[in-house]
Amino acid sequence: MGKYGDLIQQAKADTGKPESQDAGNPEIQKSRRLVIQKTRKQENQKVRRLEIPTDEEMVNLGVKVPLSLRRHWAAESKRTGVSMTEVIIRALTKEFGKPE
């Protein structure tokens, strides 16, 4: 077996169950559920602010930009609490409008 294979086998034998089963702890489940609910609520608020149709499928929009600009924008986005998605949607809507 490989360099780490023996360690992995030994760790599996010690616990007797995969790590994913540790999530059976009610406190962990409650915590995860709250995080998911909070994230969904924040996303719904963003959608409402931007007046995006909620019944429509969301898709990715890829844009190649220089790494230095991406890092700067990501930092500013986190600092100000406004997602880059919101800014991009606002800019594209301002430039091109919405479909009829």
pLDDT tens sequence across 51-66? 676 677 888 899 999 9
| pLDDT > 70? residue 70 | yes
Kindly tell me if the per-residue pLDDT of 5 is higher than 60. Answer: yes
For the chain, the domains span: 24-52, 62-100
CA distance 47 to 54: 7
More confident residue, 61 or 26: 61
- Dist CA 63 CA 60 (whole Å): 10
pLDDT at 92 over 80: yes
Tokens of 75: 């930092």
Tokens of 56: 């429509």
